[in-house]
Structure 1
Amino acid sequence: MRHDAHGWWIADAGPPSPLPPLAGDVRADVVVVGGGYCGLWTAWHILEAEPEARVVVLERERCGLGPSGRNGGFVNSLWLSLPALRERFGATAAETLARASRDSVEAIGAWCAAEGVDACYRRVAHLVLSAAPHQDGVGAAAVDGEEVVALTREQAQAICASPVFRGGVLVRTAATVHPARLAFGLRDRLLARGVRIFENSRVVALRGTTAQTEGGRVLAGAAVVAVNARSGALRPLRQRLTVASSHIVVTERVPDVIDALGWSGGEPITDGRALLHYFRPTPDGRILFGWAGGRMAVGARAGGRAEVDSEVIARTVRDLHRFFPALAGRRIEHAWGGPIDVSPAHLPSVVALGGRGVHAAFGFTGNGVGPAHLAARSLASVALDRRDDASGLAIVEPPTARLPPEPFRIAGAALVRRAIVRKEAAEEAGARADPVTRAVSGLPARLGMHLVR
């Protein structure tokens, strides 16, 4: 088994040749810090609104080699979160946001078709299923009979016959993609439109709307920061997110197992855990299986065991075999992990950073493929100082939820994570966790916030 920080998707796609770093000073209308989905989509939306705009993207490593290129490839809307959105923002704003997120799911597919990017986009429903008695009822609050539909055990088993599935919900607006191909395709299309992208160009200072790297500066009229888990390095955001990690394994090609499961539709599936499992078939007949139960990271540190953790991968493989016993004896070809920027509200936010003309997006909480497109629409609008539907979405300058400072944040989050791991393991074994474990694992819900995925 190959175990590294980049994962199977990136290896399968083959990363494009690196671009040179910034050298000297350049001028731009907008500088985008971060070459993942959110930053690249922001650049795209800026050009759609103002085709003559001068846009520069600065990426500390290489575009698409971070979380954007190594996630599960689930393109989800926010429809499943509609009950929580209504409670947080009110019915009208919540429903507007949910519809906008649905539009982003569809827009990504339309963009791939229009631009000729083969990102294996497949419009298919997302299933959220109970895999143990304590998960029963998962997603039920969002059922409306249209966008979110209840599934019985028999209906769930007819879609994918894992022995652990007990029923759940089907979310109609969803899709899957090859995440690395999408990221690399977006990078290429931006270059073709004249966007200047500098890789291996870590921003060491952002003074107003001027971004400075070790090799030069971008003097811009507006600045956008879209750096995922590294957002915690920004002073205004340090108490607005935690950094968790999620880890994935992918099997050898197993079309026989997929056929035996009846999983012909390619539906992406998650279970009802707090530290959820997520899984899907790949376009070439493998099974990808992830667990959002990786370790917490201090501050904005995104490397180390957030990316390569043999202990977490061993547990992920055990869980894979529990869901799909027919995979016993089949080869695991690749394993990897990556950081997650966890918002206390479980929602992305678009906020101003200090001075005029500087904005950031953060807090995708492991659901970034679709919502990154959505947040980028808002980022592009605020960067261009537009007052439109995108800049008026509820994720723009939402109510602030703050977390304790370090080291209390990492200590508390790690304690809660360990308690949730113990609690969910006990429940899946048919037991009940001890009172202390139950109390600690329930702290985030009682405080009305998320500390882990």
Structure 2
Amino acid sequence: MSTKTRIRKSVWIDRAPARTPQPKLVGETTADLAVIGGGYTGLWTALHAAERHPDWRIVLLEGATIGHAASGRNGGFVDPSLTHGLSNGVERWPDEVRELNRLGDENFAGMRDDIKRHGIDCDWREEGILNFARTEWEAEWLREGAEEAAKYGQHVEFYDRDRVGEVTASPAFIAALRVEEQATVDPYRLAVGLFDACRELGVEVYEHSVVKRVTNGGDAVRIQTADGEVRAARVALATNVYPALLPRLKFATVPVYDYALATEPLSDAQLKAIGWTGGEGCADAGNQFHYFRKTEDNRILWGGYDAIYHFGSRRSEALTQREETFAKLERNFFETYPQLKGVEFTHQWGGMIDTSTRFCLKAGLAGRGRIAYALGYTGLGVASTRFGADAMLDLLEGEPTERTESALVRGGMLPFPPEPVRAMGINFTRWSMAAEDRTGRRNLWLRTMDALGLGFDS
């Protein structure tokens, strides 16, 4: 492992221009809509609410700073899927999956249009994604995925052992699957761009304003912070992985810690040596998978593999630095690309993912129709948070739409059990998934979880 000092911060946040901080909420105010959370879900909600209702007073409360958490630390993969991949959608909602795919495609196109219309400079690139197999069973999983995708009209291309050299020079990979309908972005610049668009439309944004309580009563919902209060006609909860402000959501998600590294900028010759001259996003096909991609200045972001749960759903910024995982990621990187031996990693960071038992978003309504929520994206929220935001607004407006009638709103989501069963179940599931990666065989525990529609993912 390199002895050079690394920057312990997301490469996206570290490289971004400084932005003017927003004030803390102090005193009392009112709002037609209060949005709690300044990540993607909250920002999309505030932006679209301001466009739908220019006369509304909209207040957004963020506990730290805009985009500081998952929205500024993720890999920047923009997947149109609302169901965390086609297979999960087919398994859970076979009768609705085509409709959910269509809604996902429309949401993806709408996201592209919003970014263009608001002039958000976030390095949007639509160059697809490559999923790589390291073993014969992973190659078979990709082949099956290609057949399933073709059945549902998706554009994919499978590369077997004889052709995989067309898309990589890594000795670790024996097959690949290219999926065309995918994009990548600079995730933090996307968050900041959405914030700028919100401010241009008059949204009031308060940072460092942690919400302590949400109380529904009388003619408004009271939202209390340490130094202020908002009385709102409607509330959109966009706190995702952070502690639930509604009792019913207490066990809806658990925080899973994900980690990433970023290399120094690479030369064209170095990228050519590993057979990576395009702008695709990439990932492994295994349960314990790496995700990797280039940045605008030709670094390689290399993340994933370890998905760490801490007993009691512990949440702490201290847990975002885990040297054991960073060492494992570095080792795996050089096993995958030995041609890059000697390349330095300049950044290391981690963050929380809001994992749910069904692996994808759930939106709903509470507080006698005054409080909406969307959560549970399970690591695939760059695009689907936009859908979750629109679903919340639809619910608060009280008119049925295709979004509110979809399984993502109507369908239930089984909660995680209390401790210690929660930690035991999650960790045994992780162990079982790693065993499947090594052997290609799914054990009795995983088959039972499949039958119950349960699981663990990141």
TM-score by length of 2: 0.90
Q: Does 1:58 align with 2:71?
A: no
Partner of 1:147: 154
Contact between 2:156 and 2:178, CA under 8 Å: does it hold in 1? yes
The worse-fitting range, judged by mean Cα deviation, of 79-88 and 161-170 is 79-88
The residue identity in structure 2 corresponding to 1:280 is: R
Counterpart Cα distance in 1 of 2:446 and 2:403: 36
Partner of 1:157: 165
Q: Does 1:262 align with 2:266?
A: no
The correspondence for 2:85, drawn from 81, 84, 92, is: 81
Counterpart Cα distance in 2 of 1:270 and 1:115: 30
Deviation (angstroms), 1:70: 0.9
Deviation (angstroms), 1:112: 2.2
Matches within 5 A, 1:17-416: 17-78=20-81, 81-91=85-95, 93-139=96-142, 140-141=144-145, 142-144=148-150, 146-153=153-160, 154-208=162-216, 209-232=221-244, 234-255=246-267, 256-304=269-317, 306-416=319-429
Counterpart Cα distance in 2 of 1:8 and 1:229: 22
Unaligned segments of structure 1, at least 5 residues: none
Relative to 1, partners in 2 of residues 1:181 and 1:439: Cα closer, same or farther, differing over 3 Å? same
Counterpart Cα distance in 2 of 1:416 and 1:111: 39
Deviation (angstroms), 1:300: 4.8
Deviation (angstroms), 1:274: 1.3
Relative to 1, partners in 2 of residues 1:49 and 1:5: Cα closer, same or farther, differing over 3 Å? farther
The number of residue pairs the alignment matches comes to 444
Contact between 1:152 and 1:168, CA under 8 Å: does it hold in 2? yes
Partner of 2:454: 449
Relative to 1, partners in 2 of residues 1:33 and 1:446: Cα closer, same or farther, differing over 3 Å? same
Secondary structure, counterpart of 2:261 in structure 1: strand
Contact between 2:214 and 2:245, CA under 8 Å: does it hold in 1? no
TM-score by length of 1: 0.91
Secondary structure, counterpart of 2:214 in structure 1: strand
Secondary structure, counterpart of 2:28 in structure 1: strand
The residue identity in structure 2 corresponding to 1:222 is: R
Contact between 1:138 and 1:168, CA under 8 Å: does it hold in 2? no
Relative to 1, partners in 2 of residues 1:389 and 1:441: Cα closer, same or farther, differing over 3 Å? closer
The worse-fitting range, judged by mean Cα deviation, of 355-364 and 244-253 is 355-364
RMSD: 2.4
The worse-fitting range, judged by mean Cα deviation, of 275-284 and 196-205 is 275-284
The residue identity in structure 1 corresponding to 2:89 is: L
Deviation (angstroms), 1:10: 0.4
Counterpart Cα distance in 2 of 1:292 and 1:355: 42
Relative to 1, partners in 2 of residues 1:231 and 1:144: Cα closer, same or farther, differing over 3 Å? farther
Secondary structure, counterpart of 2:252 in structure 1: coil
The residue identity in structure 2 corresponding to 1:248 is: A
Q: Percent identity, aligned pairs only?
A: 29
The worse-fitting range, judged by mean Cα deviation, of 155-164 and 54-63 is 155-164
Relative to 1, partners in 2 of residues 1:388 and 1:270: Cα closer, same or farther, differing over 3 Å? same
Counterpart Cα distance in 2 of 1:202 and 1:280: 34
Contact between 2:31 and 2:230, CA under 8 Å: does it hold in 1? yes
Counterpart Cα distance in 2 of 1:304 and 1:438: 35
The worse-fitting range, judged by mean Cα deviation, of 176-185 and 415-424 is 415-424
Deviation (angstroms), 1:281: 1.1
